[in-house]
């Protein structure tokens, strides 16, 4: 079995690009990030996890975490281990008592879980070398999910925190996750 050199990383941001949605995983202290293209629902789930946005009904990642908690299983870390034919591979390292469990996973699912349980994320150095992009080449428009040009006219977002929190709650209840992500970004700016 070949040895994989892993480096600690973080979920830097979720972006909408002309090629689709991507979660950008950035090694800690690096000026490069690895874009991993994911679906719309996975992007929204990761954004909600990062922002700690409460949802009225559990999303798939919330359900999985709930089952693990009730089974006394914890997530030790997420590892993004390989890139083959433009497909990323990852795994969850879980702990149940003294037993370690390794579960293969799509990176979008691993990162959706990591965004909620705040566990360490690691990525193979070879992936960063092969697929990493200099962060200064990523435009602000791409790095802010939900700001896609040509989108439907959006209501203005209020500036005061209380109004924003109420608007966020309404957007989540209506399952309008793009609007919720936009409001969350405004809250983070305040």
d(CA 185, CA 55) in angstroms, rounded, equals 17
d(CA 38, CA 20) in angstroms, rounded, equals 8
* End-to-end alpha carbon distance in the chain: 49
- For residue 169, what pLDDT is reported? 74
Write the DSSP assignment of 96-135 as a string of letters. ETTEEEEEEE-HHHHHHHHHHH---EEEEHHHHHHH-EEG
Confidence (pTM): 0.73
Which of 94, 49, 93 shows the shortest CA–CA distance to 71? 94
6 pLDDT higher than 90: yes
7 pLDDT higher than 60: yes
Provide, rounded to the nearest whole percent, the portion of the chain with pLDDT above 90.
Answer: 55
- For residue 126, what pLDDT is reported? 96
- For residue 150, what pLDDT is reported? 27
100 pLDDT higher than 70: yes
């Amino acid at each position: 079995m070949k040895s994989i050199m892993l480096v600690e990383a973080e979920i830097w941001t979720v972006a909408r690009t002309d090629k689709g949605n991507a979660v950008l995983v950035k090694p800690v202290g690096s000026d490069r990030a690895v874009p991993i293209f994911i679906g719309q629902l996975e992007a929204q789930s990761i954004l909600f996890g990062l922002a700690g946005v409460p949802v009225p009904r559990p999303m798939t990642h919330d359900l999985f975490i709930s089952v693990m908690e009730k089974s006394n299983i914890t997530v030790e870390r997420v590892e993004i281990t390989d890139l083959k034919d433009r497909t990323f591979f990852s795994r969850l390292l879980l702990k149940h008592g003294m037993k370690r469990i390794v579960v293969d996973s799509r990176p979008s699912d691993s990162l959706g879980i990591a965004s909620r349980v705040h566990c360490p994320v690691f990525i193979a150095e070879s992936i960063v070398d092969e697929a990493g992009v200099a962060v200064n080449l990523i435009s602000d428009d791409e790095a802010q999910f939900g700001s896609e040009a040509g989108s439907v006219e959006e209501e203005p977002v209020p500036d005061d925190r209380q109004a924003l929190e109420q608007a966020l709650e309404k957007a989540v209840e209506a399952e309008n996750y793009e609007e919720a992500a936009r409001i969350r970004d405004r809250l983070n700016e305040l």
